[in-house]
Copies of this chain bind each other. A is one copy, B any other.
């Protein structure tokens, strides 16, 4: 159910964005009970003029390697789960792809379970 949008600067490796998405999916599986196969992602690479970021907000030194992850998902995850998710995404991106943890920006948008249709025009998660 999560719908993941990942935005980043154009990477010379054509597989980079997709591999970043795999890390995000693995982190969601490990920390917030996302079911196996529940993997839907939109990846966008931008040129310099179309991805704007601050290099120091909250004392964090960001570079043009910034990865912005915005996840729409069902409401109800605890604060503890969210913290684990943030940690695992940043740690995974560092381990798998060499992304500096400072360069991982994450945002969650929470919605109701009835706000999804996974195919066939049916609200599969609705009560």
Contacts and interface: CB of A to CB of B under 8 A. Distances in A.
Question: How often does this chain occur in the complex, in copies?
Answer: 3
Contact of A42 (B7, B57, B72, B124): B7
B68 A39 contact: no
Q: Per DSSP, are chain A's interface residues mostly helix, strand or loop, or mixed?
A: mixed
Contacts of A101: 119-121
From A51, A57, A104, residue with most partner B Cβ within 10 Å = A57
Contacts of A50: 17-18, 42-45
A39 B56 CA distance: 10
B40 A68 contact: yes
A28 interface: no
Contact of A102 (B18, B119, B123): B119
What is the interface residue range for chain A against chain B?
Answer: 35 or more
- Shortest 7 CB-CB distances between A and B: which pairs? A90-B121, A60-B119, A41-B52, A86-B117, A37-B57, A108-B115, A106-B117
Given A70-B3, A109-B109, A115-B107, A121 B91 contact: yes
Interface in A77-127: 79, 82-83, 86-91, 101-112, 114-124, 126-127
Contacts of A54: 37-40
